[in-house]
Chain A
Amino acid sequence: MTALLSVNGVSKRFHGLVAVDGVSFDVSAGELFAIIGPNGAGKTTLFNMIAGALAPDEGSIRFAGEPIGGLPADAICRRGIARTFQIVRPFPALSVEDNVVIGALLHSSDVVTARAHAQDLLRRLELYEQRNRIAAALTLPDRKRLEVARALATRPRLLLLDEVMAGLRPTESDRVVAVLRGLNREAGLTIVLIEHVMRAVMALASSVLVLDHGVAIAQGKPEVVVRDPAVIASYLGAEPV
């Protein structure tokens, strides 16, 4: 089976700093794939290249067999990759519902249909009660879930989640894990997530990639990766998880 997302030797430099250095990995359709690593390891830069916010300096990115490296962000989203932002960016002055309606309008030009789709997603992410509030008025965890809802509204085949669990209490993070698992199981949604919350990574991911200083230092099943001495030294610390 060919990979849904295939990243091959991708690099990105910011002036002198090599943020991502020759990283390669494949994500199969239906997989839950996690990217972990210390702060500054290049995880978000890698995401930004997949989502089209940045163009890679070297290497290729293929999605569903087609090269997408260097395409603009909107073109990549239309091909079926949706993302959330590490530092949340909902449309602040618009209502929670309208935020999601905008995502849903990508595939339906009719506002009524888009609104119905948006409301389904808001129920699923437990934001329905807050749908008429202004997005800027939500708490940070709620705004993170709003971003997930807005991204899902574009009906992606691949969802890129940048630290959606950060700042959530364990019970909240467990609820998000359950929602993501459900989406993955029912709709076959492929998810790539950047995460620091190891509890969520262990619960969700079928495969883990570890970045350190822009380089992939380990890749494999989560229970194997967390025992890798290099990973322990660079990221997890001496205490095993």
Chain B
Amino acid sequence: MSATTPSSIAAYCTRVAASLVEDVSRPAVTMLGIFLAALVIAPFLVNDYLLTVLIVVLYFAFTGQAWNIMMGFAGQLSLGHAIYAGLGAYIAAVLFKQFAIAPWIGFFAGLPVAAGCGATIGFLAFRFRVAGVYFAILTIAFAEFARIGFDHFDYVNASAGLFLPVAQYTHNDLWHLRGSPTMFYYVILGAAVLAFVICRALLKSRIGYFWLAIREDEHAARAVGIDSFGYKMAAVMISAMMTSFAGVFYAFFYNNLFPEQVFSISRSIEMILGPIIGGVGTLFGPILGAFVLTGLAELLNAAMSAMGLDLPGAKQVFYGICLLLVVVALPEGVWPWLARRLGLAGRLQ
């Protein structure tokens, strides 16, 4: 094996990067590059408020990508994804607060729990042929169990909420995720980019093709030798593990966790709105959906406060209208339509 010199690492990274974009058209690579560059320099250009909005956008781009593995790729509708984020959040937060364990280690500690939870739901559903709407209800039920369970779980302070110590930080401590919004911005940007890359790699590989086959027609998929049970289990577990990272981020960004909020069905619904609006099963849809939804919702907020209006629930009504418009006008989502307009049609986008 060749020595690990910086130049060989660079060469390897270049090869990996090249293989990631090899089947993407030039204009698409250029646009993606400009978009990514804009995101990288954004913290230097925007104010604190906009930076927070961008953090929320990227958070939903990340969770949307994770949810999309289950629904968009493997065709399994989860309406209870808050459970995976919540488990990741609580595990990392408790380990940090009680034992001063860094959140990155806490994230790895939470991975098997999230995967195990996904595997339990998946096993019950796929083994006993709970499919479609009934599967979705099962996922809601588990998230509700978790909400009620954590509401009475004294070790994590039950319904009174778990708070992480907050102080004025003079420097950014990436290892302990304590620092400025700019640091959090880059963490969630990195996570969103990584999620995009992982999803693309999955979709390009054998497992991705098998997921699509199961989504399209499970009966026919099994007839070509695909062990649909195993591949659906893999989809749920990978999606659950990815989502658990969002929970870790949430805990350390907001510094407080309430079961009522963390495991609420509203959290699960928020996660899936982005990909539904952007385009279920597409790679760029969850990202576009997060920008469109959160961006427009914040614009609405700004416009309302400029006009001196205070209408609680306006955001929810707005989400409802967006969903309605997309379902009626662009049932595939905004991205497939936009991609055709931009001449970027293709399955791997």
Contacts and interface: CB of A to CB of B under 8 A. Distances in A.
A73 B222 contact: yes
Q: Which 8 A-B pairs have the closest CB atoms?
A: A91-B216, A77-B225, A89-B220, A73-B222, A106-B225, A74-B222, A103-B224, A78-B225
Contact of B223 (A83, A105, A110): A83
B15 to A, nearest CB: 16
A53 B223 CA distance: 8
Interface in B194-244: 204-206, 209-210, 212-213, 216-217, 219-228
Contact of B224 (A75, A109, A150): A150
Interface string A88-99: 011111110010
B222 to A, nearest CB: 4
B171 interface: no
Which secondary structure characterizes the binding site on chain A? mixed
Which secondary structure characterizes the binding site on chain B? helix
Contacts of A78: 225
Contacts of B217: 89-92
Contact of B213 (A51, A102, A109): A102
A92 B216 contact: yes
Contact of B209 (A74, A85, A101): A101
B347 interface: yes
A81 to B, nearest CB: 10
Chain A interface: which size bin? 20 to 34
Given A74-B226, A154-B225, A98 B220 contact: no
A77 to B, nearest CB: 4
A105 B222 contact: no
A77 B210 CA distance: 15
A23 interface: no
B227 A74 contact: yes
Contact of B212 (A74, A94, A106, A110): A94
A141 B16 CA distance: 42
A204 B293 CA distance: 60
A208 interface: no
A105 B213 CA distance: 11
Nearest to B209: A102
A95 B347 contact: yes
Given A91-B216, A98-B347, A72 B206 contact: no
A82 B216 contact: no
Contact of A93 (B205, B209, B216): B216
Contacts of A111: 204-206, 209
Nearest to B216: A91
A74 B225 CA distance: 4
Contacts of B219: 53, 73, 89
Contacts of B224: 77, 82, 102-103, 106, 150-151, 153-154
B223 A73 contact: yes
Contacts of A95: 347
A237 to B, nearest CB: 34
26 contacts: A53-B219, A74-B221, A74-B222, A74-B228, A75-B227, A77-B222, A77-B225, A82-B223, A83-B223, A85-B223, A90-B217, A91-B212, A91-B217, A91-B220, A93-B216, A102-B209, A102-B221, A102-B224, A102-B226, A103-B225, A105-B210, A109-B206, A110-B206, A111-B205, A111-B206, A153-B224
